[in-house]
Amino acid sequence: YKASRFSPLMSVVRHTVITLPTPVNISTWWNFGSLLGVCLAIQIFSGLVLSLHFTAHTDLSFYVVIQSFGDVYYNWWFRALHANGASFFFIGLYLHVARGMYYGSYVFKEVWSVGVVILLLVMASAFLGYVLPWGQMSFWGATVITSLFSALPIIGGDVVIWLWGGFSVDNATLTRFFGLHFLLPFTVAGLAGLHLFFLHDQGSSNPLGVSSDYNKVVFHHYYVLKDLVGVCFFVGPLLGLVYFNPWLLGDPENFIEGNPLVTPHHIQPEWYFLFAYAILRAVPNKLGGVVALAVAVLILLYMPFSPQTAIKGLSFYPWGKALFFSLVGVFILLTWAGAKPVEEPYVVVSQVLSFLYFSYFLLIGPLTRIQDKLL
């Protein structure tokens, strides 16, 4: 306490993680904020270690990654931790967003908007990082995704050439992707600090959706210990995956060096992008698919401006809860459909699921307002 009187930094830490007034009834679903902070720290640390032994060159990257497995002490562990840590990061992100949607946390406009920007930057960073090992799926994934910008009217072709640094995905592309992948996590860390600032300024929501100004406790030690337990339950499975089956979530094609003359039979991104990939493929028109892909994530920015309900969140709205859990099922099915070939019946299934996905955001407001009137 004495140190905090003389050190502005210690004062900030004290008011952030020790004396912060916190609603007494927040549940385990609120643990994912701290878990995501742990995931970000793991990704930055493991990424820094991996960057010390990486060469951003199309002729060397693949072989440097493979060779470093045996030649660099524990490099395999850091790469497995980094690759699987990305998957766990997205599990936490999606659950964190789902909790915010269910409990109405989007009413805090600044907190929610910064959170959506963080989600977008993490997705961009994950895509850039997936390209770096320069395997088959890395190369062709970069080719397919960057080519989508060619659908933009007038400037599309120039944007693609600017992204590639030439007329094809080549050495210049890999170099700039490595630089951006290195810088973006630090940008995410800065935005996470801004996210926390707005959260502490506006206060945290709670499961009941009511004001908790008169029923709060200090953050330490009640929620510090709770968050530590959550970290153990989250990091435990991550380490189990790293030690016992580190490549379970990876694509076997990525253990083959990228070859522009050989196209993989089925090009697909990592599992955490499959829902958006299914929506992209569901639209026959290229520009329409790109727009649908962007809107699939950007539609989250619309939620703070959607019609507000009498009670914050969906806990007391049976129809709203049914619609929300239907959205969860649609999200899972879209992930499944995105991993399937572009053929029938998967194309039609993706189209139906995409329609249901966007329908949620259009229906949830009017549906809950109807229930408000009935109550």
Is pLDDT larger for residue 345 or for residue 204? 345
For residues 276 and 295, membership in a common domain is answered with: yes
Asked if the structure places residue 342 within a domain, the reply is yes
What is the Cα–Cα distance from 3 to 12, expressed in whole angstroms? Answer: 11
What is the Cα–Cα distance from 145 to 139, expressed in whole angstroms? Answer: 10
Q: What is the mean pLDDT of residues 136-151?
A: 93
Kindly report the pTM of this predicted structure.
0.93
Of 229, 264, 299, the residue that ends a domain is 264
pLDDT of residue 329: 97
For residues 258 and 289, membership in a common domain is answered with: no
Of 230, 247, 264, the residue that ends a domain is 264
Of 248, 264, 280, the residue that ends a domain is 264
pLDDT tens digit sequence for 258-297: 999 998 888 889 999 999 999 999 999 999 999 999 999 9
Instruction: Pick out the residues of the known binding site for a ubiquinone.
Output: 200
End-to-end CA distance of the chain: 50
Instruction: Pick out the residues of the known binding site for heme b.
Output: 82, 96, 181, 195
How many folded domains does the chain comprise? Answer: 2
For residues 361 and 219, membership in a common domain is answered with: no
Asked if the structure places residue 245 within a domain, the reply is yes
CB 140 within 8 A of CB 260: no
pLDDT tens digit sequence for 63-105: 999 888 888 889 999 999 999 999 999 999 999 999 999 998 8
For residues 153 and 278, membership in a common domain is answered with: no
Its domain, for residue 223, covers: 17-264
Copy the structure tokens of residue 75: 């490099």
What is the Cα–Cα distance from 265 to 317, expressed in whole angstroms? Answer: 46
Asked if the structure places residue 5 within a domain, the reply is no
Around Cβ 295, how many Cβ atoms within 10 Å? 14
pLDDT tens digit sequence for 294-328: 999 999 999 988 877 888 888 888 999 999 999 99
Residue 203 has pLDDT above 80, yes or no: no
What is the Cα–Cα distance from 253 to 11, expressed in whole angstroms? Answer: 51
Instruction: Pick out the residues of the known binding site.
Output: 82, 96, 181, 195, 200
By annotation, the residues acting in catalysis are 200, 204, 226-227, 270
